[in-house]
Structure 1
Amino acid sequence: MSFKKLIEPLKDVLDNKGFYEPLPFQKLILSKIKGGASLFCIAPKDSGKTTSLILSVVQKLNGLAFEDAPRALIFVKDKETALNLKSEFESYTRRTDLRIYCAYEEHNIELQREELYLGADIVIATPKRLNKIFYLNGINLNKLQICVVDDAEFLFKNNNFAEVTRTPESIGKCQYLIFSSKFDNRFERWRESFMYNAQVVKSK
C-alpha cells in the first residue's frame, strides 16, 4: 500500500517528515492491516514497525474522536515505553482530534479511572494496570476496534502474556496486531483462540 491511500492528516505529516514511500516491510503489512486482517508482524529493529503501528491505528479511527470509550488499545512493557509511544503518536495526530491516554503502574489508579471517564480514543497501557482498571469498571472495552502489542518480546516476563490474554476474553470481535522481532512459539496459543485466522508476516 502506498502512503497516498492514507487519510490527509497522515499524508501531510509523512510529507513533512520526508517519508514518501513505505519501507519494504511496511509495504508487506499496511494494506493487510487496512483490510482488517489480524497479523503477527515480525521484523527487526528499524524496519518501520512503530510507524506502521501508528499509521494503522490513526487510519483505522479515521483521525476522528468519537464518544468516550477507547477504540484502540496498545499494550507496552512499561511507563517509559508508553510515554515515548504517546509522544510519537502525537507527532502524527496533531491535525486530528484523537485523544491519547497512557495507563501505567506509577500513576494513581483512581485518578486514572477519572481521567479515562472523560474520554479517550487510543489507550496505551501496561498489561497489569489495564487489567486492574478494567476489573474496577474503570474502562469500557466494548467499543474496541483494534488491539495491539508493541515490541511483544516483553510479554514473556512478569506474567505479561497471561495478563494480555485476559483482554480478548472480555471483548467482542476485534482486529489484533502483534509487533515483534521474532515469532515465539507461545503465540500459537493465541492463533488457536482469539487470533485463529491471523497471518504471520515476516520481514524479507
Structure 2
Amino acid sequence: MPFKKLHSEIKEVLESLEISTPTSFQSKSIAAIKSGANIFCIAPENSGKTTTLILTAMQKLKCEEIGTAPRAIILVGDNEKAKALYETFVTYTRRTSLRVYVCDEKLHIDMLKSEIFEGSDVLIGTTKIMNKLFLLNGVNTTQLKMMCIDDAGFLNQKTPLTAMMAITQSITKCQFVIYSDKMHPFLKKFESYFMKHARTIAM
C-alpha cells in the first residue's frame, strides 16, 4: 500500500481524514511520482488525482517549511480552481509547517510578490499570473523541486499554453508531473521540451 511508505505526518493526516485505502490510480502513481521521474498521470475524474498531487507534493517537501523560496509550483486552469485547490491543500497541510500560498489574480502583482518573498513552500496559481510573476522576477526558482499541472486540458488553449511554456523555459531543473483526464495529443509534444524521459501512468 503506497500510503504506508509516506511521511509519518501525511499518514497522520490521512488517518484524521479517515482515508485508509488508496484508489487504484493512487496505488499505481504515488510510488512512480516519489521516484522523481517526470510523469504523465492520466485518469478519469474521481480517481484521486488531486489527492495524489497534494500527498506527493507534501512528501517531496518532507512536510516542513524550509527557507523562503518556493519548492513546489502548482498550475491550474483558472483563478477559482486555484483558490479551491488551495483550500483542499490546507486541509492536508494545516498540521504541518508547510506554507501554501495561492496567487490570486485579483490581488495586485506587487502584493503577490511581497507576500511570496516573505516565504512560501507551495505556490498555486494560473499560468497567466505565474508567468507574470516570473517575468517580474517575483518567484525565486533556485530551490524548486516540483512543478505540477492539474487538469491539464486547459493547456489546449493558446494563451495558457504560451504562458506555461515560458514558465518552464525559466526552470533549469525540477520534477514535472502533469495530471489529466486523458492523454491529449498536445501533451505528448511536451516530451520534446520539459517532460524528458517521462513515464505515463494511465487508468
| TM-score bucket of the superposed structures, by smaller chain | over 0.9
C-alpha displacement of 1:71: 0.4
One-letter amino acid of the counterpart of residue 196, structure 2: Y
State the match for 1:82 in structure 2.
Answer: 82
Structure 1 range deviating more: 47-56 or 80-89: 80-89
Aligned-residue identity in percent: 40
1:154 aligned to 2:131? no
Are 1:46 and 2:46 matched, yes or no?
A: yes
Once the two structures are TM-superposed, the CA of residue 189 in structure 1 deviates from its matched residue by: 2.0
TM-score by length of 1: 0.96
SS at 2:33's partner residue? helix
Unaligned runs of 5+ in 2: none
Q: Helix, strand or coil: the match of 1:26? A: helix
Mapped pair 1:128 → 2:113: no
TM-fit CA distance, 1:75: 0.2
Question: What is the root-mean-square deviation of aligned Cα atoms in Å?
Answer: 1.1
Paired residues of 2:63 and 2:98 also in contact (CA < 8 A): yes
| Distance of 1:169 and 1:157 partners within structure 2 | 18
Change (3 A) 1:35 1:23: same
Structure 1 residue runs without a partner (length 5+): none
Once the two structures are superposed, the pairs formed by residues 2-41 of structure 1 within 5 Å of their partners are: 2-41=2-41
TM-score norm. by structure 2 comes to 0.96
Aligned to 2:184: 184
Q: Given that residues 42 and 200 in structure 1 are in contact (C-alpha distance below 8 angstroms), is that contact kept between their aligned partners in structure 2?
A: yes
2:30 & 2:182 partners in 1: Cα distance? Answer: 19
C-alpha separation in 2, matches of 1:104 and 1:153: 21
Q: How far did 1:193 drift?
A: 2.0
Hey, what's the Cα distance between the residues in 1 that align with 2:193 and 2:154?
21
State whether structure 2 residue 104 is matched by structure 1 residue 96.
no
Give distance in 1, aligned partners of 2:193 and 2:137: 25
1:144 aligned onto 2:147: no
**Structure 2 residue 197 is matched with structure 1 residue 197:** yes
Structure 2 SS opposite 1:164: helix
SS in 2 for 1:159: helix
* Deviations 1:143-193 (CA, angstroms, capped at 9, x unpaired): 110000001111112511121111221111110000000111111221112
Deviates more, 1:156-165 or 1:178-187: 156-165
TM-superposed CA distance for 1:88, in Å, is: 0.8
Matched with 1:65 is 65
Contact 1:101 1:120 in 2 (8 A): yes
| More deviation, 37-46/9-18 | 9-18
